[in-house]
Structure 1
Amino acid sequence: MFNPSRDQVRQFFVDAWRKQRANEILTPLEAQALDWILEHPEYHGDLENVEALTADYSVDAGRTNPFLHLSMHLAIAEQLSIDHPPGIRAAYQSLAQRTDAHQAAHEVMECLGQVVWESQRLGTPLDTEAYIDLIKQRASR
């Protein structure tokens, strides 16, 4: 299983954005990342700033970590593509009908963040049923 370091993840997004700007060929994964990078112009400056590779994006700093945010987009896209955990695709589609695809992805991201935090806090495996239920609850609002 691929388990990149924080530095590798950051470099991946920086490289994908650099390649796009230089009109270079992207790998398939970089092309997927680019789709999300283009959806987030507020992160373009970070991706062009070498200092972002080592920046601290703590909650106290009051800024969203662009690398974490983009990584979560990629993780959710993968979950949707393979419908794992089972039912996520249908739950997402219900949510996307209520809003748009990008906003739906952000709402799924909130749900994922919540179950990951809970898992870490309790020292338990991620509760995939709770994850899907949270998405369904948002879709039914």
Structure 2
Amino acid sequence: MFAPSQIEVRRFFCATYRKIRDKQPLIPMEALAASWIEQHPEYFDLLADEELAVNTVYTVEEGKTNPFLHLSMHLTITEQLSIDQPTGIRQAVELLAARRNSMHEAQHAAMDCLGEMIWASQRSGLPPDGHQYLDCVRRKATS
């Protein structure tokens, strides 16, 4: 199982942004990340400054979005869609995208559900509940 450190994740996104900016070839994972980075120009300045990126602390109390968590969740959901795991997530997110006229907005809604699942798992000490996550996305897609 691949479990990069926080610093490795941040360096990956910064290096990918540098390759985008310098028009260098991307490996497949970088290409996926690039598609989401390009949709978040508000992160460009941070991604251009690797030392700032590595050293910035994001706390819940600040109320600011952690751009690295945000981009990582986009990649997570993209991977889930590609393999339809949990089963049914692809259909639920595609329905959500159709209703919102945007895959990007659908992913943001699914992120809320993914975050809730992770938070509940961490609080309870139980494994993440994929059924609860899928049900949450389906509710958003049908409401």
Query: Identity over the aligned pairs, expressed in percent?
Result: 50
Q: Who is 2:130 aligned against?
A: 128
Q: 1:84 is paired with a residue of what secondary structure?
A: coil
Find out whether 1:18 has 2:18 as its counterpart. yes
Offset at 1:61? 2.4
Q: Give the superposed CA RMSD.
A: 0.8
Distance 2:75 2:53 in 1: 19
- 2:112 aligns with one of 106, 110, 113: 110
Q: Who is 2:4 aligned against?
A: 4
Matched length: 141
Q: Residue type matched to 2:32 in 1?
A: Q
Q: 1:97 is paired with a residue of what secondary structure?
A: helix
Report 1:90-109 matches (<5 A).
90-99=91-100, 100-109=102-111
1:42-72: CA deviation from partner (whole Å, max 9, x where unpaired): 1111101221211101112232111110000
Distance 2:55 2:89 in 1: 34
Q: Residue type matched to 2:74 in 1?
A: H
Q: 1:44 is paired with a residue of what secondary structure?
A: helix
User: 5+ unaligned residues in a row in structure 1: which ranges?
Assistant: none
User: 5+ unaligned residues in a row in structure 2: which ranges?
Assistant: none
Q: TM-score w.r.t. structure 1 length?
A: 0.97
Q: Residue type matched to 1:121 in 2?
A: R
